[in-house]
Amino acid sequence: MRVCIHRGTKQIGGSCIELAHEGVRILLDVGLPLDGEFGDTSLLPPVTQGIAAVIVSHPHVDHYGLLHHLPPGTPVCIGAAARRIIQAAAPFTGQPLPPLDGFDLQHRTPLQIGPFRVTPYLVDHSAYDAYGLLVEAGDKRLFYSGDFRGHGRKGRLFEGFLQHPPSNIDVLLMEGTTLSRLEEDDAFPSEAALEKQLLEQIRATSGLVMVYASAQNIDRVVTLYRACKQAGRTLVIDLYTAAILEATGNDSIPQSFWPGVVLFTPERQRRQIVRLQAFDLLKRHARQRVYREGLQQLAANAVLLFRPLHMEDLVAADVLDGARFIYSQWSGYLADEASQKWLHWLQEAGIEMHQIHTSGHASPSDLQRFARALNPARLVPIHSFSPEKYPQQFDNVEFRQDGEWWDV
Ligand SMILES: [Zn+2]
């Protein structure tokens, strides 16, 4: 089996790995770089014709964002829920909807693609339906970690993996997102710890609580729902969030029709719904719908899953007195151009920002436990801005360059 990491040996974002064996080629992820443009075809691997299949580890654009440029008919293997989430999100985000036809990834169920046998392992990550991938070809075994962590709501899955990892791994491609952000012994709070922090903040608020979190971070939405329930508050979601939650297809994930959840569609989203002709979607989620007056009445007993398109409605509904704002995403995004508008809005309204968040990625110590459990003959850094830190923390590290072909 031959490997080429097209992008990812020295960076986070835009992950793309090509594997070749007996004349058959497959791709693991076709991601968009963090600063890349969806339309930029120069970011693709050099040869995309004749790819037998693309396997997408999870539904984050830095792992699938260039899929739409692949030749039509290229099969895409991805988790069924991940596929639905991408399809549900695209109309709202305006991002290109890639073709996604192909096999479903299922936990520990091998797929045969020509000479490649691919076994997905469901992992704990901030994206829903995320997998690590064991790829076997000839007599070689490569494991690609994808993105993962051990402190989320699937932490038990991570511990189970460590106890029964796949054996005889020749090459491990392992993400190291946190190595550039954390010291070796720093740890992250769990989602359960976040739930407690949120509950405290909600209880200390007389008015509306706004929480700015990604609707696609399903673990976080669950955390929010659970905190609301304990505080006796109603969770207010918009149609985008309702569509994403529905797309999980999971009965135990909060939905728009659950007790303690209401739908509020901000004006800008109502225009979006008209443009998209998304009336059936709206109808499905409108069983517990409130309008501005309803929101006003509910404010002191509600938590809003905030998105910047809510700003005008919140002013118009006059719900900012005694309100609290909690930012629940990576703090790095705060420096983005796109964040300045809502940050300014918040400042104008005289509302302080609190931060409650935990990473979607494993801490350095969990990365070490993962690497020790898999005990690979060679460990190749990927998805990290600090590959140079690997040799201090892991055994058998071997560096590779973007675009270089090598043997497993
Ligand atoms: Zn990810």
Q: How far does the centroid of ligand 1 lie from the alpha carbon of residue 298, in Å?
A: 35
Instruction: Give the pLDDT of residue 296.
Output: 97
Mean pLDDT on 251-261: 97
Bridge partners of 142, per DSSP, are 135, 171
Q: What is the mean pLDDT of the chain?
A: 96
Q: What are the C-alpha distances in Å from 323 to residues 9, 224, 341, 343?
A: 44, 17, 19, 15
Mean pLDDT on 230-245: 98
**CA-angle at 349, arms to 344 and 354, nearest 5°:** 75
Mean pLDDT on 33-58: 95
Mean pLDDT on 30-52: 95
pLDDT at 286 over 80: yes
Mean pLDDT on 323-336: 95
Q: How far does the centroid of ligand 1 lie from the alpha carbon of residue 56, in Å?
A: 11
Instruction: Give the pLDDT of residue 312.
Output: 96
CB 220 within 8 A of CB 126: yes
Tokens 């590290």 belong to 397
Q: Which domains, ranges and CATH numbers included, belong to the chain?
A: 2-183+360-407 (3.60.15.10), 191-355 (3.40.50.10710)
Mean pLDDT on 359-376: 97
Q: How far does the centroid of ligand 1 lie from the alpha carbon of residue 331, in Å?
A: 16
List all residues 6 or more positions away from 179 whose beta carbon is below 8 Å from its beta carbon. 364, 367, 384, 385, 386, 389, 390, 393
Other beta carbons within 10 Å of 13:
20
Instruction: Give the pLDDT of residue 237.
Output: 98
Q: How far does the centroid of ligand 1 lie from the alpha carbon of residue 14, in Å?
A: 11
Bridge partners of 120, per DSSP, are 133
149: phi then psi, degrees, rounded to nearest 5: -155, 175
Instruction: Give the pLDDT of residue 302.
Output: 98
Q: How far does the centroid of ligand 1 lie from the alpha carbon of residue 82, in Å?
A: 12
Q: How far does the centroid of ligand 1 lie from the alpha carbon of residue 299, in Å?
A: 33
For residue range 160-214, what is the model confidence (pLDDT) as tens digits? 999 999 999 999 999 999 998 777 777 899 999 999 999 999 999 999 999 999 9
Nearest residue to 370 (alpha-carbon basis) of 57, 123, 5 = 123
pLDDT at 7 over 90: yes
Which letter does DSSP use for residue 288 in this model?
Answer: G
- Tell me if residue 148 falls in helix, strand or coil: coil
Helix, strand, coil share of the chain (percent; to 5):
35, 25, 40
Mean pLDDT on 382-408: 97
Q: How far does the centroid of ligand 1 lie from the alpha carbon of residue 58, in Å?
A: 7
Q: How far does the centroid of ligand 1 lie from the alpha carbon of residue 232, in Å?
A: 32
Q: How far does the centroid of ligand 1 lie from the alpha carbon of residue 218, in Å?
A: 13
pLDDT at 379 over 90: yes
CB 3 within 8 A of CB 15: no
Give percent of the chain above pLDDT 70: 100
Question: CA-to-CA distance for 88 and 50, rounded, in angstroms?
Answer: 29
Nearest residue to 152 (alpha-carbon basis) of 222, 89, 86, 82 = 222
Mean pLDDT on 274-290: 97
Q: How far does the centroid of ligand 1 lie from the alpha carbon of residue 126, in Å?
A: 7
Question: CA-to-CA distance for 189 and 194, rounded, in angstroms?
Answer: 7
- Tell me if residue 109 falls in helix, strand or coil: strand
pLDDT at 19 over 90: yes
Q: How far does the centroid of ligand 1 lie from the alpha carbon of residue 316, in Å?
A: 36
Q: How far does the centroid of ligand 1 lie from the alpha carbon of residue 69, in Å?
A: 20
Instruction: Give the pLDDT of residue 187.
Output: 82
